[in-house]
Amino acid sequence: MEKALLAKDTSYDGIFYAAITSTGIFCRPSCTAKKPLLKNVQFFPSTNEALKSGFRPCLRCRPMDHGHPDWVSRLLKKIETHPDEKLYDGRLRAMGIRPEKARRYFIKHFGMTFQAYARALRMNASFRKIRKGNKLDDVILGHGYDSHSGFRDAFVKIFGQPPGKIHASDCITISWINTPIGAMVIGATTDAVCFLEYTDPKRLEEQSEALKKRFHCAIVPGTNEWIEKLNIQLAEYFRGERKNFDVPLIYPGTPFEEKVWSELLKIPYGETRSYEALANIVGSPLGQRAVGRANGLNRIAIVIPCHRVVNKNGNLGGYGGGLWRKQRLLELENGKLRLL
């Protein structure tokens, strides 16, 4: 890592981050700023770890804007624009990418191997085309499958049912994004946003399981109109240019949970409510603990602003994404902090 940092090696961007203790900022390895003294450098595996340790993103190399190294961005663009091409190990090597390196990176950042990610991406595109009424033969040939049986087997493995039975079904499409307070995962059905969570492993795993339980459908990588719209609105929010989100939301839960989440949406930008006040609003004056639990189970962070709920004495209380994130979000909304 020291060698890559001193050489400003772009191939390590997104693999690790260098934090400079003398300035309090963290950078990508390729940052064009003056080379730091190695005795003043701390290395982190992710932007989340650097942020949690109190470092700020560099304004020159903007590490939060470029979460993936160049070779990963190139690979993602390739499979997104040419879903019919299957990039096996030989093709990856021809592109100058070691297959084992791609496998490790995708497992770490996407929770699955590169080949599994590419296959799921193809299946998601197929799913959407079939739902729109495209002919099955055209879909199969357009996504790199030579036979109906091979396509059907791959489709059933992901969606749990054959292509001919999904016209009334839906799936949750998920996409990874970078924000000034760490990487996040956006999820949306065909009709609405249903998920926005930080990528901290334990939290993400718990919320993903809740998502599967509530929606009873496949979760596959890709993008759709609601993901793209929310991505734009989140950037505006972090720049201090947006106070309200207007994407459609869907958040099934128990009647009590849904009532709490609906009330969270009514808390104005720049304001907070106590758990006690929220319990009174939902008609459960003695249910502060239950309100806190429902608050913690919110699956659409920031948009459903559970970060605006604090203790009666003004202390932050809890937050599934970590108190440091809650603090930054509240400071942003009060005009005390600029994140982008």
Contact between 210 and 197 (Cβ < 8 Å):
no
Contact between 226 and 232 (Cβ < 8 Å):
no
Instruction: Note the Cα 149 to chain centre separation in Å.
Output: 33
Which residues does 283 contact at the CB level (< 8 Å), separation at least 6?
Answer: none
Q: By CB neighbour count within 10 A (0-12 exposed, 13-18 middle, 19+ buried), where does 318 fall?
A: middle
Which residues does 214 contact at the CB level (< 8 Å), separation at least 6?
Answer: 252, 253
Active-site choice (58, 61, 171, 306): 306
Q: Quick one: tokens of 174? A: 């998920």
* Residue 306 designated active-site: yes
Which residues does 120 contact at the CB level (< 8 Å), separation at least 6?
Answer: 112, 158, 220, 221, 222
- At 173 the three-state DSSP class reads strand
Which helix or strand (DSSP H or E) is residue 187 part of?
A: strand 182-188
- At 143 the three-state DSSP class reads coil
Place of tokens 């599967």: 212
Would you name the residues annotated as active-site residues? 306
